Structure 1
Amino acid sequence: MSDTSATHAPAATASAHTLRRGLSARHVRFMALGSAIGTGLFYGSSAAIQSAGPAVLLAYIVGGAAVFMVMRALGEMAVRHPVAGSFGQYAARYLGPLAGFVTGWTYAFEMVIVCLADVTAFGIYMGFWFPDVPRWIWVLSIILFIGALNLLSVKVFGELEFWFSLVKVSAIIAMIVGGIAIITFGLGNQEENASGIANLWSHGGFAPEGFGGLIASLAVVMFAFGGIEIIGVTAGEAQDPKRVLPQAINTVPLRILLFYVLTLGVIMMLVPWTSITGEASPFVSIFTTLGIPFAPHLLNAVVITAAVSAINSDIFGAGRMMFGLAQQGQAPAIFRKTSRQGVPIFPVLILMATLLVGVVLNAVIPEQAFLLIASVATFATVWVWLMILLSHVRMKHAIAREGRLPSEFPVPLWPAASYAAIAFVLFVVVVLGIVPDTRPALMVGAVWLAVLWLAYTLFVREQGRSAPDLEDATAPIPLPPRAP
């Protein structure tokens, strides 16, 4: 399939089935930060800490390394094939149409589930200020607000996302610096709850829950990194994707890894890990415990901004993936229709309607909603990553077999690192089945895959059954002239 999203047509003449390349390098970088640094860090990290104690830092380091390999694999494919729908189309091209169909819809499913977690967290954060207001009211209000934002032009969306993400990244940096100052100079220390590096091993040891606890934490850890693959989804709307995508991919994963490890390390040095209960964001809890005036309210405002930012990116990613599926005939044709601003209208509206499930969950089971949603999102996330890695391996073999030019943005340590990343992702899937709290997520995932297989078999149009003919942005190797 040719890259129908590549256009520079003015608004008045743009096609009704065309996206706009309105995202700059800073937009793409901060959109990935917006999606991946959100609820998983500001709220979900509490569950990870409770599972593994301070050893959770190792889980974030290992998980971050695997995510980096996923992103480099995605980057190599996106630079070669900068298309809307990104890895859904790559899976269809290199693994077969069924794989593309399942991958694309599973990513959309992932974004919806992650979004449900984010809107649930938003309701929890608002409860810090308004404990008597039912949580579902806040969930409904944020769904309507973010839905309206996503109907604006992609340039406006990218600009808003940039500022949302800048707020929370700045807050994380300030929190790290302030936390180190508190630890160093003793601000807020109490004798029975003193801040210091010794907190990392003084309360049952560095790994108080043992190796089993460390493994169990992987479900929440990988959920935290979920969403970073949105960089690939921006390929159809990024200006100069050959330059923008490598820049974003090389910097964002490392920054996220540093933010997670440094931030959680500082948090567990400020207060014992046993005091992090998950009833509120650990960021808010530690400054409440230390008695710093106004800091809890300021940080609550920051984590609310973080949740809004993540929800914003999630809806964008799911909508663009559904647009790409429609281009392949694997989603209703109406999903290809865009507004005058180049926004796929119907996917956004459908996503808003789907998110109303979050309103129901938070009204019926407010206490269990987050953990259930996060576990299901983890399954969807690792499935998408597995398809990205397998598609990349098949692409590398096709490049060698067909004599194409080498990639302009190749993965490092090929092929060993790529196969190691595949093994790790498969291990996380096994963990989901082993840990009792996350086992229902694996069951939901299995049912989801079965439903997709059935839907593909019964309803996908014939044009959706053929692999897309992706345009290769790297020219083929010219054949040498024949000898006379």
Structure 2
Amino acid sequence: MNENSDRSTHQKGIQLTRALKSRHIFMLSLGGVIGTGLFMGSGVTINQGGPVGAILAYLVAGFLMYLVMVCLGELSVQMPVSGSFQTHATKYIGPATGFMIGWVYWMSWATTVGLEFTAAGMLMTRWFPTVPIWYWSALFVVVLFGINAMATRAFGEAEYWFSGIKVAAILGFIVVGVLVIFGVMPLSSGAPAPMATNLIGDSLFPNGLSAVFAVMMTVVYAFQGCEIMGVAAGETDQPEKSIPRAVRNVVFRVLIFYVLAIIVLSAIVPWQQAGLMESPFVQVFDMVGIPYAADLMNFVILTAILSVGNSGLYASTRILWAMSKTGMAPKSLSPLSKRGVPLRALSITLCFALVSLMTSFVAADTLFMVLMAVSGMSGTVTWIVIALAQYKFRKAYLRDGGKLSDLKYRAPWFPVLPLMCITLCCSLFVFLALDETQRPSLYWGFGFIALCYGAYFLIHRKRQGVLAPSLPTV
């Protein structure tokens, strides 16, 4: 009895550590955003939307990301907790919505992490064709578990360098691309410098303006992951300084990286050929004749995949742990290790990631498709919840006599900004509904959301004491 009491007292003394610095938060957010959506998916976007259409789509998606980031920035500075928008939604929208978005977001990232293990294993076969994919997948499972099980500061450093490799690769690509566009670096084929020929040679929108709307969901999906910044707020040193700086830096740099990279790709690679066989980044290096271009980009894409998996595993683990603290997930997941890491929540998340990995082989046409549909929609639903939570927080704050000057960081243009964010996100569902190939994802996605709401009202409404968390002080 006394031993159990001592263990309980010791556990209460262990908390998440505020060990992440501003540079960690910045790179962690970049790690969630810059991934295969840019390195692989951008080619398909250019091919379907056309060169100018792709640039326009990325600009619109980047603006939407800005709206989300400033809304989340205000909430995260005022309430720097690891539950992030799940905690914010619980407090200001309602416990049912907090329960729903927590489980949807957790399942989405856990599913995505499982896919990253498969993708990473497939990339390794380029160098080791005789080694089975699952060997590499198992190795990366152990590596990412080890990184996430380390102290928070060590995790932040690992992700800092993961993301740094991606950023360096993109900057190098942009420099090479600009030199090619203006003829400073010749094409290996001897063709003249492309200049703006590929951008506007076949009209601004060769597949029509409707094609631009059709690729919007894909482009927005590439930007999702920026909200990890809010999840990391609970382990951030001086969140009132780190979070606003991260908002500014992430939005500015992601827009530059994405938009400049897309402009360079669209100018060099004809839109009819983009993304049909390989990464458009590899296509550009091959066109220039840079030795070992495919191997170089294979390494960069592998790093990008592991970085996204690392960030996603961190975010989903913290969300699950935060829900366990308020009774929205099993209480048994709440203990922390001596390093202040929720190892049980991490282990459960990784187990689900492995299950999603296996369903891609044994139930590809059934359960796996459902998981992918929910995962694809969850990011947009999360952005809507973030904007709505900020709208309701500001309303409640002003109603209770709070002064705007007392907010250490506040989103501009209230209430237009959050309402605009919600409207733009909802319009994406309209685009999905109009596309017959993507329409089933709406059914499965909203079906899972309804299931989460139903589970809350059937289970948690009968319990006493499952309340919205109190507002933390900064």
Fold shared by both chains (TM-score > 0.5): yes
Residue 421 (structure 1) aligns with: 421
Residue 190 (structure 1) aligns with: 189
Residue 37 (structure 1) aligns with: 34
CA contact (8 A) 1:220 1:374 kept: no
Between 1:168-177 and 1:128-137, the stretch displaced more is 128-137
Residue 224 (structure 1) aligns with: 222
Q: Note closer, same or farther for the CA distance 1:37–1:343 as it changes in structure 2 (3 Å cut).
A: same
Q: How far apart are the structure 1 equivalents of 2:422 and 2:227?
A: 16
Matched, 1:469 2:462: no
Q: Which amino acid in the other structure matches residue 187 of structure 2?
A: G
Residue 454 (structure 1) aligns with: 454
Residue 441 (structure 2) aligns with: 441
Q: CA deviation at 1:79?
A: 0.8
Q: How far apart are the structure 2 equivalents of 1:186 and 1:220?
A: 32
Work out which of the residue numbers 125, 128, 151 in structure 2 matches 1:153.
151
Residue 213 (structure 2) aligns with: 215
Give 3-state SS (helix, strand or coil) of 2:149's partner: coil
Q: How far apart are the structure 1 equivalents of 2:382 and 2:45?
A: 22
Q: How far apart are the structure 1 equivalents of 2:39 and 2:231?
A: 24
CA contact (8 A) 1:114 1:377 kept: yes
Residue 327 (structure 1) aligns with: 325
Q: Note closer, same or farther for the CA distance 1:266–1:410 as it changes in structure 2 (3 Å cut).
A: same
Q: Residues 146-198 of structure 1, C-alpha deviation per residue, up to 9 Å, x if partnerless?
A: 12221111111000000111111011101100111122224225366964321
Q: Residues 60-99 of structure 1, C-alpha deviation per residue, up to 9 Å, x if partnerless?
A: 1111111111110111011111112011011011111101
- Pairing of 1:8-407 with structure 2 (within 5 A): 15=12, 18-54=15-51, 55-130=53-128, 134-184=132-182, 185-190=184-189, 195-202=194-201, 204-363=202-361, 376-406=374-404, 407=407
CA contact (8 A) 2:93 2:392 kept: yes
Q: How far apart are the structure 1 equivalents of 2:403 and 2:259?
A: 38
Q: How far apart are the structure 1 equivalents of 2:277 and 2:56?
A: 24
Q: CA deviation at 1:251?
A: 1.1
Stretches of structure 2 lacking an aligned partner (at least 5 in a row):
1-8
Q: Note closer, same or farther for the CA distance 1:114–1:313 as it changes in structure 2 (3 Å cut).
A: same
Give 3-state SS (helix, strand or coil) of 2:50's partner: helix
CA contact (8 A) 1:339 1:345 kept: yes
Q: Note closer, same or farther for the CA distance 1:366–1:267 as it changes in structure 2 (3 Å cut).
A: farther
Give 3-state SS (helix, strand or coil) of 1:426's partner: helix
Q: How far apart are the structure 2 equivalents of 1:343 and 1:274?
A: 48
Give 3-state SS (helix, strand or coil) of 1:196's partner: coil
Matched, 1:410 2:420: no
CA contact (8 A) 1:45 1:220 kept: no
Q: Which amino acid in the other structure matches residue 445 of structure 2?
A: G
Q: Note closer, same or farther for the CA distance 1:158–1:368 as it changes in structure 2 (3 Å cut).
A: farther
Q: How far apart are the structure 1 equivalents of 2:118 and 2:260?
A: 26
Q: Note closer, same or farther for the CA distance 1:374–1:451 as it changes in structure 2 (3 Å cut).
A: closer
Between 1:190-199 and 1:253-262, the stretch displaced more is 190-199
CA contact (8 A) 2:111 2:352 kept: no
Q: CA deviation at 1:281?
A: 2.4
Q: Give the % identical residues.
A: 34
Q: How far apart are the structure 1 equivalents of 2:141 and 2:232?
A: 22
Give 3-state SS (helix, strand or coil) of 1:254's partner: helix
Give 3-state SS (helix, strand or coil) of 2:339's partner: coil
Q: Residues 431-464 of structure 1, C-alpha deviation per residue, up to 9 Å, x if partnerless?
A: 2222223222212212211221232123337356
Q: CA deviation at 1:43?
A: 1.6
Q: CA deviation at 1:266?
A: 0.7
Give 3-state SS (helix, strand or coil) of 1:275's partner: coil
Q: How far apart are the structure 2 equivalents of 1:333 and 1:14?
A: 13
Q: How far apart are the structure 2 equivalents of 1:198 and 1:111?
A: 40
Q: TM-score, normalised by structure 2?
A: 0.90
Q: How far apart are the structure 2 equivalents of 1:369 and 1:303?
A: 27
CA contact (8 A) 1:143 1:355 kept: no
Q: Note closer, same or farther for the CA distance 1:72–1:377 as it changes in structure 2 (3 Å cut).
A: same
Q: How many aligned residue pairs are there?
A: 461
Between 1:445-454 and 1:191-200, the stretch displaced more is 191-200
Q: Which amino acid in the other structure matches residue 234 of structure 1?
A: A
Q: How far apart are the structure 2 equivalents of 1:110 and 1:377?
A: 4
Q: Which amino acid in the other structure matches residue 122 of structure 1?
A: A
Q: Note closer, same or farther for the CA distance 1:53–1:73 as it changes in structure 2 (3 Å cut).
A: same
Q: Note closer, same or farther for the CA distance 1:434–1:282 as it changes in structure 2 (3 Å cut).
A: same
Q: CA deviation at 1:466?
A: 2.0
Q: Which amino acid in the other structure matches residue 470 of structure 1?
A: L
CA contact (8 A) 1:102 1:453 kept: yes
CA contact (8 A) 1:186 1:195 kept: no
- Quote the RMSD (CA, aligned, Å): 2.6
Between 1:119-128 and 1:396-405, the stretch displaced more is 119-128
Q: Which amino acid in the other structure matches residue 30 of structure 2?
A: L
Q: Which amino acid in the other structure matches residue 200 of structure 1?
A: L
Q: How far apart are the structure 1 equivalents of 2:308 and 2:431?
A: 26
Q: Note closer, same or farther for the CA distance 1:291–1:215 as it changes in structure 2 (3 Å cut).
A: same
Residue 3 (structure 2) aligns with: none
Q: How far apart are the structure 1 equivalents of 2:196 and 2:435?
A: 30
Q: Note closer, same or farther for the CA distance 1:186–1:376 as it changes in structure 2 (3 Å cut).
A: farther
Stretches of structure 1 lacking an aligned partner (at least 5 in a row):
1-11, 474-484
Q: How far apart are the structure 2 equivalents of 1:47 and 1:220?
A: 9
Give 3-state SS (helix, strand or coil) of 1:408's partner: coil
CA contact (8 A) 1:199 1:271 kept: yes
